[in-house]
Amino acid sequence: MSDNKDHGGFFDPGWRPSGDVHRDEDGRPHEHPGLQEDVGLGVRASRALAMHELLVEKGVLGENEVEEAIEAWSERVPSNGATLVAKAWADPEFKKRLLEHPKETVIESGFVPEHNADVIVLENTEDVQHMVVCTLCSCYPTALLGPPPDWYKSFSYRSRAVTEPRKVMSEFGLELEEETEVRVVDSNSELRFLVIPRRPEGTEGWSVEQLADLVNRNSMIGVAAATEPGTD
């Protein structure tokens, strides 16, 4: 972990396999010559579109069936991560286990990390704010948060998260105290991160289900705060 004075915090590139090898969503490895290129995205998108059109043409799928399934999945899966965060807020012993043995605890909770990747869980506090990025492509805890949002995959986010994380967070509505340390962590094909955001005040005695409703996707990436009670 190295101190990056430019953005007033730390940037942790984590462990990367030799050659900066990442994997496509289907698990096949690919290498990235540099941040400027999103290798293979056009090819994969074209292939998926052609397959979709063929299945619709053959009558295997309805015109909007795939889109509806993806939308339903996208809405459902982030609740996996939210459930873990809510349990951690409500149960100190569970939080301790989740922080110390994250992958095992995630699997015990019924969620399997994609490509058998390792998992690290980080807790945000008054003193430290963690923020997740994948500087080389879009490695992301899909099993816990669903598909990555477009902005997470963009070159703009992947670069600015490292150079000006506070400004990025402010664009998501999160303003930190000047003394709060910012730590930017870098996902890769072998490693995924889940952030436990700070628990909102006024939620003492809430059930796990109630707490989970306050945990939004962006807060588990670390670019935003959990939803305050009584707000949408």
71 lies in some domain: no
Residue 77 confidence (pLDDT): 58
Residue 55 confidence (pLDDT): 77
Cβ partners under 8 Å of residue 71, min gap 6? none
- Give the pLDDT band (50/70/90) at residue 12: low
Q: Write the CATH number for 201.
A: 3.90.330.10
Q: Tens digit of pLDDT for each residue in 78-137?
A: 689 999 999 999 999 999 999 999 999 999 999 989 889 999 999 999 999 999 999 998
Q: Tens digit of pLDDT for each residue in 203-220?
A: 999 999 999 999 999 999
To 5 degrees, how large is the angle CA 152–CA 154–CA 157? Answer: 65
With beta carbons less than 8 A apart as the criterion, state whether 208 and 86 touch.
yes
* CA–CA distance, 26 with 44 (Å, rounded to integer): 10
141 lies in some domain: yes
Q: Which of 2, 46, 74, 139 is catalytic?
A: 139
149 vs 133, 162, 176, 184, CA distance in Å?
Answer: 12, 18, 23, 18
Q: Which of 18, 79, 138, 189 is catalytic?
A: 138
Look up 156 and say whether it is catalytic: no
Q: Which of 18, 134, 189, 207 is catalytic?
A: 134
206 vs 90, 92, 104, 127, 197, CA distance in Å?
Answer: 8, 14, 26, 25, 16
* CA–CA distance, 214 with 86 (Å, rounded to integer): 8
Look up 46 and say whether it is catalytic: no
43 lies in some domain: no
User: What is the side-by-side order of every strand in the sheet holding 128-133?
Assistant: 2-4, 9-12, 181-186, 128-133
62 lies in some domain: no
Question: Which range of residues forms the domain containing residue 166?
Answer: 9-14+21-34+78-221
Q: Which of 18, 46, 74, 137 is catalytic?
A: 137
114 lies in some domain: yes
Number of domains, the chain: 1
108 lies in some domain: yes
